Chain A
Amino acid sequence: MNYSDKKFSNIFIIVLTLIFCFDVFLWLEIFKEPRNPELDFLNVGQGDATLLKFPFSGEILIDSGDGQQIKTALSQVQTYFHRDIDVWILSHANIDHYGGFLKLLETNPPRLFIYNGFDSQSESFQALKKSLQEKGIPIVILAAGDKIKIGDSHFDILWPTNPSPKNDLNDNSLVLRLMSRNHSVLFVGDISSKTLASLDNIQSEILKVSHHGSKTGTNNQVLEVVKPRIALIGVGLNNRYGHPSPEVIDLLQKIGSQILRTDFNRTIKIIFDNNLLIKTQ
């Protein structure tokens, strides 16, 4: 065998190996499609972001952190070939909830954008709205009484009412209750405990704790109604706000909730089977 033959066969082997690897990978991708709904509470530093995957239906991203880490956080739970998210839901117009949308808009825009209809006058929020409009992405405003159905799961919108009695961005946060395979999750944005306690039908197995565990968002009264088995807190390590408040942690421990927080547990994955399957990093 002369030199060029050997070189050719080397290239041939390399190409064949690459094709084989690629093939294995594609099949793995197909088998990877989850059979059960899945909740990924993302580690975006100081902020909230939750990715929900519904088998053979679609993906929903509720809030997106301040934007610094959203892409890195998503790459932990998405694959190279599957990065599109169908629906974005914004709980309320605070930068630590919508900042990530600005980072994703250019490369992975959604098909639908849902929020509570309360605009912030900040330039960044106006920029987000303008970009969504320019890209022709429908913006849907939801209020208490509305429903979102996806696969065999559905969301009930519990707050804000239309028109809303409140005048505060946090207190008008969208409150969504997800029902999926006999499990329930309550998303509350940064709502105050007073407003949350006034709502009906909020008992849930999983609670996305309001306002990164600040004491304005959670009190005894709320927890006695919600009775969460699992409490999710989105906070940055050693954040300057002192979130989560030790009092809130105390209250959650008292009622026996399992506390999962992004500063300690990083990405938190919960799979909705007959039981809840929790995976942390």
Chain B
Amino acid sequence: MGETSIPNWFQKINSLPPPHQFLLITIIFIGGIFLSSFLNFPTAVLIGLLLLLLSSIFGLSAVLAGRPATFFVYPLIFIFGFSYLQLYNFYQENHSSNYLNGTEQSQVAAVINDLPAYSNNSVSFQVKLLPPFQGKVLIKSRSYTTDFQYGDKIVFSGKFEQPQTYEDFDYRAYLAKDNVYSVVYYPEIEILEHHQGLWLKEKLYQLRLSFQKQIDKIFTEPEGGFLSGLLLGEKRTLDKDLQLALQRSGTTHLIALSGYNITIITEAVSFLLISLGVARPQAFWAIVIFLILFIILTGASPSVVRAGIMGTLLVLSHKLGKRYEVRNALFCAALLMIIFNPKILRFDFGFQLSFAATLGLIYLMPFFSRLLKADQQNFFNWREILATTLSAQIMVLPLLILRFGSLPLISPLVNMIIISLIPATMLLGFVATSLSFISLWLGYLIGFIAYLLLHFEIGVINFFGHWNLAALNLGAYREIIFWISAILIFGFSIYLRKHELLRQEI
């Protein structure tokens, strides 16, 4: 049996339909990157060579035994993924500001590269160093002194430092995933010129800022901060207390601009376009362009990019008359994002959460929908919302456990209460803010209804989030429970998938 099982197994793979082959190749490639991300450069080269040798022997012996040469392909894809991350890292580190760390530099010219983040009495932003220097640097400066904007050309003098790693947070890896290898705290800064960035990006950031300002004018806190999270993905303005309550009640995803928010916004825009009488084909392209602009406007967080790519694929499949396979769209989005920056796979929590939540919707949702009879008419669609929440929350559970060391217990309930109100909140908040550009009073008036909704939602989050039993602290059992839950959920998903497919065939 051992003799014939390998070719059988191989033939099975070989005869898979193209969509499944694509999926398999993607997973193997991502697997290579994942393994590689645990290794540093010299070890990785050694292991990479070893893998190459092994697969060559394996493949060669297979070919000599008369099996097809495609036998090589899968191990090679794995090795390709494995080396891709290492090459990417090698290139980025060689083009980084690493060599400046530990030195004092004066009059370094740079351009502000992202949206400055204002927090309590300080502001931080990324800059791209101009020749003769190179690389990206994170600068932290006192706020109130100068108004920094995307695209400003600055010169600064200060000490370059390597980011610190803390016990519970690897700040260095967190910054390195965006290819930032140095930080400069409170340097002397002078702004030389404005508008040195990309024109479109600058305009969109300006729009975002003025939107944010109007939200601040209309709403009280924390309602305004929560709305900024819903509409713009801005969460720095929320106070620590509420952030903790959000985390403990499992509702942070709402203010991090998840795919859910994007879906609502896309639906609202398409409804608007079509009711304005725009023909469908044109409307589709308008939505795609809108999605791209919106992704840039919101700072291109992983969940938004993922939702944007999947949305575009959906529109494209309609256009081309092909069947939209949500699972393939998800992996395609992941693949594109990982090729663009392979480090996000291991070091971007937002990417992992968004990816896992969507996997949950694909693998677990059919089961929960059937279990909860989600297709029945019911009050506020609670059955469907509960099914969605459970599917997404269960799949992200291992990640949450590993990151926060606690088990959210109350999250399905809180999500069920709040999610049905989110579309109305976002819509009213958006309309109020937009109208306030014309008349502040009109903004106040419409905003009041949004305010009541926001106030209620925050009340619910605070009520449950500050409850002692909202989340169970796992302490030292964090890792073991992570592994157990990950394996159980993985097994459960595979089982369900097979089960549901069988059910469909019957």
- Where the two chains meet, the residues of A that have a C-beta atom closer than 8 Å to any C-beta of B are 18, 22, 25, 66-69, 71-72, 74-75, 78, 80-81, 83, 95, 99, 102, 106-107, 123-124, 127-128
With A74-B221, A75-B220, A124-B142 known, 7 other A-B pairs at CB within 8 A are A18-B449, A66-B121, A67-B120, A71-B222, A80-B220, A83-B220, A124-B145
Q: How far is the CA of A68 from the CA of B221 in the complex (A)?
A: 11
Contact check, B448 vs A99: say whether CB atoms are below 8 A apart: no
Smallest CB–CB gap between A135 and chain B, Å? 14
Most buried by B among A66, A71, A95, A123: A71
Q: Is the CB of B142 within 8 A of A80?
A: no
Q: Are B120 and A102 in contact (CB-based, < 8 A)?
A: no
- Out of A22, A67, A72, A80, name the residue touching B222 (CB < 8 Å): A72
> Does B144 lie within 8 Å of A69, measured CB to CB?
no
**A66-B120, A106-B213 known; A123-B144 Cβ under 8 A:** yes
Q: Given A67-B121, A75-B222, A75-B223, A80 and B448 touching (CB < 8 A)? A: yes
Where the two chains meet, the residues of B that have a C-beta atom closer than 8 Å to any C-beta of A are: 120-121, 142, 144-145, 213, 216-217, 220-224, 239, 444, 448-449, 451
List the A side residues contacting B145 at CB < 8 Å.
123-124, 127
Once the chains are docked, how many angstroms separate the CA of A234 from the CA of B120?
Answer: 19
**Do B144 and A68 touch (CB < 8 A)?**
no
Partner of A71, one of B144, B220, B448, B451: B220
For the A-B complex, the count of residue pairs with Cβ-Cβ distances under 8 Å equals: 49
Contacts of A83 in B (CB 8 A): 220
Contacts of A72 in B (CB 8 A): 221-222, 239
Q: Which residues of A contact B449 (CB under 8 A)?
A: 18
Bound complex: CA A118 to CA B448 (Å):
41
* Closest beta carbon of chain A to B427's beta carbon, Å: 14
Is B239 touching A124 in the complex (CB atoms < 8 A)? Answer: no
Q: Measured between C-beta atoms, what is the minimum distance from A109 to chain B in Å? A: 11
Contact, CB under 8 Å: B444 / A68: no
Q: CA–CA, A28 to B283, complex, Å?
A: 46
Evaluate contact between B121 and A123: CB separation under 8 angstroms.
Answer: no
Which chain A positions have C-beta within 8 A of B224?
71
Give Cα A67–Cα B220 distance, bound, in whole angstroms.
14
Q: Please, which residues of chain B bring their CB within 8 A of the CB of A78? A: 220
Chain B residues with Cβ under 8 A from A127's Cβ? Answer: 144-145
- Considering the chains assembled together, what is the distance between the CA atoms of A66 and B448 in angstroms? 28
Please report the C-alpha to C-alpha distance between residue A107 and residue B215 in the assembled complex, in whole angstroms: 10
B220/A74 in contact, CB under 8 A: yes
Q: Is the CB of B221 within 8 A of A123?
A: no
Q: How far is the CB of A124 from chain B (nearest CB, A)?
A: 4
Chain A residues, CB < 8 A from B142: 123-124
Among A80, A95, A123, the residue within 8 A (CB) of B451 is: A80
Q: Which residues of A contact B223 (CB under 8 A)?
A: 75
9 pairs of A and B residues whose beta carbons are closest in the complex = A71-B221, A75-B220, A127-B144, A123-B145, A124-B144, A72-B221, A68-B120, A107-B217, A107-B216
Contacting residue for B444 out of A18, A69, A71, A81, CB 8 A = A81
Task: Give A66 to B120 CA distance when docked, in angstroms.
Answer: 8
Cα distance A127–B213 when bound, in Å?
Answer: 19
Inter-chain contact B121/A95, CB cutoff 8 Å: yes
User: Do B239 and A69 touch across chains, with their CB atoms under 8 A apart?
Assistant: yes
Smallest CB–CB gap between B379 and chain A, Å?
15
| Distance from A119 Cβ to chain B, minimum over Cβ atoms (Å) | 15
A-B contact pairs, 6 of them (CB 8 A): A68-B239, A71-B221, A71-B224, A72-B221, A106-B213, A123-B144
Q: Which residues of chain B are within 8 angstroms of A69 by Cβ–Cβ distance?
A: 239
Query: Which B residues are CB-close (under 8 A) to A22?
Result: 448
Tell me whether B121 and A75 are in contact (CB under 8 A): no
B450 CB, min distance to chain A CBs, angstroms: 10
Residue of A nearest to B217 (CB): A107
CA distance A107 to B216 in the complex (A): 7
B455 CB to closest chain A CB (Å) equals 9
Chain B min CB distance to A121 (Å): 13
Residues from chain A with Cβ under 8 Å of B144 in the complex: 102, 123-124, 127-128
**Closest Cβ–Cβ distance, residue A46 to chain B (whole Å):** 11
Pick from B144, B213, B239, B451 the residue with the most CB of A within 10 Å. B144
Q: How far is the CA of A68 from the CA of B120 in the complex (A)?
A: 6
Cα-based distance from A8 to B506 in the complex (angstroms): 44
Whether B444 and A99, one on each chain, are in contact in the complex, defined by CB atoms closer than 8 angstroms, is: no
A83 to B449, CA, bound (A): 17
Residues of B contacting A75 in the complex (Cβ-Cβ under 8 angstroms): 220-223
CB distance from A158 to the nearest CB of B (A): 31
Residues of B within 8 A of A99 (CB): 121
Inter-chain CA distance A107–B213, complex, in Å, is 8
Residues of A near B444 (CB, < 8 A) are 80-81
A22 to B448 alpha-carbon distance, docked (Å) = 9
Residues of B within 8 A of A68 (CB): 120, 239
A99 and B448 CA atoms in complex are apart in Å by 28
CA distance A106 to B209 in the complex (A): 13
Query: Can you name the residue of chain B whose Cβ is closest to the Cβ of A76?
Result: B220
Closest partner residue, chain A, to B222 (CB atom): A72
The answer to whether B451 touches A124 (Cβ under 8 A) is no
Chain B residue nearest in CB terms to A74: B220
CB proximity of A174 to chain B, nearest CB, Å: 23
Cα–Cα, bound, A69→B213 (Å): 18
Please give the distance in Å from A76's CB to the nearest CB on chain B. 9
Q: Which residues of B contact A106 (CB under 8 A)?
A: 213, 216-217
> Would you give the shortest CB distance from B158 to chain A, in whole angstroms?
16
Q: Which residues of B contact A25 (CB under 8 A)?
A: 448
CA distance A22 to B451 in the complex (A): 12
Which residues does chain A contribute within 8 Å of B120, judged by CB atoms? 66-68
In Å, the complex CA distance between A185 and B224 comes to: 34
Q: How far is the CA of A124 from the CA of B224 in the complex (A)?
A: 24
Docked CA distance A102–B239 (Å)? 17
Instruction: A172 to B127: give the CA distance in the assembly, Å.
Output: 42
Q: A147: shortest Cβ distance to chain B, in Å? A: 33
CA distance A68 to B145 in the complex (A): 17
Question: Nearest Cβ in chain A — how far from B447, in angstroms?
Answer: 8
Q: Which residues of A contact B220 (CB under 8 A)?
A: 71, 74-75, 78, 80, 83
Which residues on the B side are within 8 Å of A81 (C-beta)? Answer: 444, 448
A128 to chain B: which residues have CB within 8 Å?
Answer: 144
